[in-house]
């Protein structure tokens, strides 16, 4: 096939303007494909990677209501439960209300055992956070944004809680920085120790916002959900338990609609590109009928002409499509760095790139198949006369 590359190049360069226009459309299609796939993944952050053996427990009537800390100890005794952790929304911001970031009050030991995918800069930093006191752990994106370093003493204000010292400001020391290679991990957050926070808030002491449960291997998650909710059904603080995946989906109720919208936009873009490419290849075939007929007189078989036309399409779509995919990947990377604080998870996976390559192959074959078949069926006499 390599000896026919000059013929393929001649076919592609016959109408340079048309070829470049088609190439630009293809490249832009795959740049947009990259962004839409990355955005769709960012909107469903955590849902795809949510463990099936983890449960989330909230107050039955409202997620704003708290649960007793004693539930954590009580649940730990139940057979089938491997680990219980908890977190409480701090409602934190740095200096100004516009600098709101996710700040959670947690039990450091329980939380890090529950989320082993969080990676610390060093074991000594991790140990400092586990030691308690006013030590906090800061996600890498937040630390970069505010310029925080280990050892810095930072004031965090809350729009929910007030301190016994007066006001709504707590002072903490940055003990550790963390990140993660897990695409489902949320690192754009701050973890503060629950105990000193609980002891110094003016109301809500001895309560937590969310309880998280990790099940032992082989435990039926659905049965455990029913057991937990039944256990506290008649208490002053009834619970609503769900799987971690279910919780994330309900917390982001619009994900399904947004994902459908993204896929709809992508479908329209791909269909439009397909129509433009099909028109391009049909026009090219009509203009080259006489040339194709001459090739047949020189001994080119119908099968060879079919392969020749399809190869042209594969080179055009594959070349410009790959260019668009690589450009899209680079642009997504730059965009991800810019929006990491409020849209974490904006990235492309290798399977997205493979899907893009498959889409290129499909576009090339679908749009060039009819012209290729017509070229194979073209009679020499009809072709030389300019007929199909």
Contact 66, 58 (CB under 8 A): no
**Contact present, 322 and 27 (Cβ < 8 Å):** no
- In a shared domain, residues 137 and 16: no
pLDDT in tens, the chain (388 residues): 555 556 556 655 566 777 788 888 888 888 888 888 887 777 665 555 556 688 999 999 988 899 999 999 999 999 999 999 999 999 999 988 878 888 999 999 999 999 988 999 999 999 999 998 899 999 998 998 899 999 999 999 999 999 999 899 999 999 999 998 876 677 889 999 999 999 999 999 999 999 999 999 888 988 999 999 999 999 999 999 988 776 666 655 555 566 677 778 878 888 888 888 777 776 666 566 656 666 666 666 667 777 777 788 888 888 888 999 999 888 887 777 665 545 556 777 788 889 989 988 888 888 877 777 776 666 566 555 655 4
Which residues neighbour 145 within 8 Å (Cβ) at sequence distance 6 or greater? 341
| Integer Cα distance of 317 and 360 in angstroms | 6
> Tokens representing 319?
């070349």
| Domain shared by 123 and 68, yes or no | yes
Contacts of 315 (CB under 8 A, 6+ apart): 8, 12
Taking a C-beta distance cutoff of 8 angstroms, is the pair 178, 128 a contact? no
- What confidence score (pLDDT) does residue 97 get? 84
Domain co-membership, 39 together with 77: no
- Compute the distance between CA of residue 275 and CA of residue 22 in angstroms, rounded to an integer: 11
Tokens of 330: 């680079």
d(CA 263, CA 288): 37
CA gap 173, 134 in Å, rounded: 6
3-state SS, 19-49, equals HHHHHHHHHHHHHHHHHHHHHHHHHCCCCCC
Domain closes at, from 206, 224, 251: 251
- CA 173 to chain centroid, in Å, comes to 32
Name the residue range of residue 67's domain: 54-251
226: alpha, beta or left, given left = phi > 0 and alpha = psi -120 to 50?
alpha
Say if residue 174 is in the same domain as residue 193.
yes
Q: Which residue has the tokens 């002491």?
A: 205
Query: Does 215 lie in the same domain as 68?
Result: yes
Q: Are residues 342 and 267 in the same domain?
A: yes
Q: Is 317 helix (H, G, I), strand (E, B) or coil?
A: helix
What is residue 251's predicted lDDT score, i.e. its pLDDT?
53
In degrees and rounded to multiples of 5, residue 168 shows phi and psi of -125, 30
Q: Please say whether the beta carbons of 243 and 215 come within 8 A.
A: no
Q: Are residues 100 and 157 in the same domain?
A: yes
Show the tokens assigned to 312: 């042209």
SS3 205: coil
Residue 49 domain-assigned (yes or no):
no
* Domain C-terminal end among 193, 220, 251: 251
What is the chain's alpha carbon radius of gyration, rounded to the nearest angstrom?
30
Select from 217, 251, 285 the last residue of a domain. 251
Q: Does 33 fall in a domain?
A: yes
What secondary structure letter does DSSP report for 163?
B
Beta strands 54-59 and 103-106 are unpaired
Q: How far apart are CA 289 and CA 387, in angstroms?
A: 7
286 lies in the same domain as 186: no
3-state DSSP assignment of residue 201 = strand
Using DSSP, state whether 237 is helix, strand or coil: coil
Determine, yes or no, domain membership for 238. yes
Assess whether 285 and 183 both reside in one domain. no
Predicted pLDDT at 352: 86
179 and 141 within one domain: yes
pLDDT for the residue numbered 341: 46
Distances (CA, A) of 130 to 112, 118, 134, 174, 185: 9, 14, 11, 12, 20
Task: State the pLDDT at residue 232.
Answer: 95
User: How far is residue 44 from each of residues 63, 298, 344, measured CA to CA in Å?
Assistant: 20, 57, 10
Write the secondary structure of 52-63 as one string of H (helix), E (strand) and C (coil): CCEEEEEECCCC
Q: What sign has the CA pseudo-torsion 376, 377, 378, 380?
A: positive
Assess if residue 115 is contained within a domain: yes
* pLDDT at residue 369, rounded to an integer: 77
Number of domains in the chain: 2
Which pair of structure tokens corresponds to residue 214?
A: 């990790």
Give phi and psi for 300, each to the nearest 5. -70, 125
Q: Are residues 355 and 294 in the same domain?
A: yes
Is 333 found in the same domain as 299?
yes
């Amino acid at each position: 096939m390599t000896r026919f590359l000059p013929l393929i190049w001649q076919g592609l360069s016959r109408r340079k303007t048309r070829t470049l226009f088609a190439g630009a459309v293809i490249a832009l299609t795959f740049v947009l494909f990259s962004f839409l796939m990355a955005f769709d993944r960012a909107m469903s952050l955590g849902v795809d990677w949510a463990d099936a053996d983890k449960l989330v427990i909230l107050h039955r009537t409202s997620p704003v209501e708290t649960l007793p800390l004693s539930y954590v100890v009580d649940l730990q005794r139940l057979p089938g439960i491997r680990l219980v952790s908890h977190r409480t929304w701090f409602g934190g911001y740095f200096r100004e209300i516009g600098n709101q970031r996710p700040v959670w009050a947690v039990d450091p030991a329980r939380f890090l055992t529950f989320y082993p995918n969080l990676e610390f800069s060093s074991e000594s930093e991790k140990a400092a956070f586990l030691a308690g006191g006013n030590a906090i752990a800061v996600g890498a994106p937040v630390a970069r944004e505010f310029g925080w370093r280990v050892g810095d003493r930072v004031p965090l204000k809350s729009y929910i809680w007030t301190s016994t010292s007066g006001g709504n400001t707590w002072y903490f020391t940055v003990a550790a920085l963390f990140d993660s290679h897990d695409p489902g991990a949320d690192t754009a957050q701050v973890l503060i120790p629950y105990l000193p926070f609980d002891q110094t808030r003016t109301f809500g002491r001895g309560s937590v916002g969310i309880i998280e449960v990790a099940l032992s291997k082989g435990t039926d998650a659905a049965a455990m959900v029913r057991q937990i909710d039944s256990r506290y059904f008649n208490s002053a603080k009834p619970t609503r338990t769900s799987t971690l995946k279910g919780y994330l989906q309900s917390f982001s109720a619009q994900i399904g609609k947004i994902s459908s919208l993204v896929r709809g936009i992508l479908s329209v873009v791909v269909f439009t590109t397909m129509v433009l490419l099909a028109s391009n290849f049909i026009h090219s075939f009509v203009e080259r009928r006489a040339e194709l007929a001459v090739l047949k007189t020189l001994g080119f078989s119908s099968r060879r002409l079919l392969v020749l036309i399809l190869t042209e399409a594969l080179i055009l779509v594959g070349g410009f499509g790959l260019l668009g995919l690589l450009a899209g990947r680079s642009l997504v990377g730059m965009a991800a760095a810019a929006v990491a604080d409020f849209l974490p998870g904006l990235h492309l996976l290798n399977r997205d790139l493979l899907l893009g390559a498959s889409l290129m192959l499909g576009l090339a074959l679908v749009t060039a198949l009819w012209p290729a078949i017509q070229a194979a069926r073209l009679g020499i006499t009809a072709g030389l006369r300019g007929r199909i």
